[in-house]
Amino acid sequence: MNVTELRPGNYFIEDNNIYLVMDILLNKTAMRKMVAKVKIKNLRTGAITEMSANSGYQVETIRLDKKKMNYLYDNGDFVVFMDQETYEQVEIPHSRLEWELQFLKENLEVEITSYDGEILGINLPAKVQLHITECQPAVRGDTVNKATKEATLETGLVVRVPLFVNEGDDVIVRTDTAQYDGRA
């Protein structure tokens, strides 16, 4: 595929690395060929970089395999997921899931992405429901602007929540920003 035809969400292989296209900007001036500036994420390392290429540069696009699985447990070095239909279990190293570990709780359904049998990572749901295990009591008079306090969730994640939320409540947290989204 020509590099100018790439769109956000496409996957391609270059130099034995698998990339996800995050954003693309096409620039055409009167005297030059079209130049594509592509913001890409290396799915093996997690590094986000920018690549520039002239019109006519070819890349090999690929399709990733995606499979729904449930989180089972964490054995210290690996995180274990299971397919609910075949009962097949998959282990993914902690190093690949540093951000995602903050949101994983038992039986959470996620999407495992792989290419040619190599597991590249997981896609979390947009929002997850988590239980507050520790929360400071509200301080009276602390209402200058949006009054919030810190709350520790069952996964160890610490988020800012409104004063009316208490220890023992369930809250909805966004997985892209790790911010409070509402009460469950």
**pLDDT (average), residues 3-18:** 90
**pLDDT (average), residues 93-112:** 86
The span from the CA of 155 to the CA of 95, in Å, is 17
User: Each residue of 61-93: pLDDT tens digit?
Assistant: 999 998 999 999 888 888 899 988 888 888 888
Superfamily (CATH H level) for 65-123: Nucleic acid-binding proteins (2.40.50.140)
Q: Coil, helix or strand for 101?
A: helix
Looking only at the bridges linking them, the beta strands covering 158-162 and 148-153 are antiparallel
Chain mean pLDDT for the chain: 87
CATH architecture observed for domain 3-62: Roll (2.30)
Q: For residue 70, what pLDDT is reported? A: 92
* Signed CA dihedral, 121, 174, 105, 137: sign only: positive
Q: For residue 84, what pLDDT is reported? A: 85
The span from the CA of 6 to the CA of 59, in Å, is 9
The span from the CA of 170 to the CA of 180, in Å, is 11
CATH architecture observed for domain 127-183: Beta Barrel (2.40)
Q: For residue 50, what pLDDT is reported? A: 94
Q: CA-CA distances (angstroms) from residue 29 to 5, 21, 25, 33?
A: 18, 23, 13, 7
Same fold, 3-62 and 65-123: no
**pLDDT (average), residues 31-44:** 88
**pLDDT (average), residues 117-125:** 86
User: Each residue of 139-149: pLDDT tens digit?
Assistant: 666 556 677 88
Higher pLDDT, 144 or 37: 37
Closest by Cα among 100, 101, 99 to 76: 101
**pLDDT (average), residues 128-152:** 79
Q: For residue 61, what pLDDT is reported? A: 92
The answer to whether the predicted template modeling score (pTM) of the entire model surpasses 0.75 is no
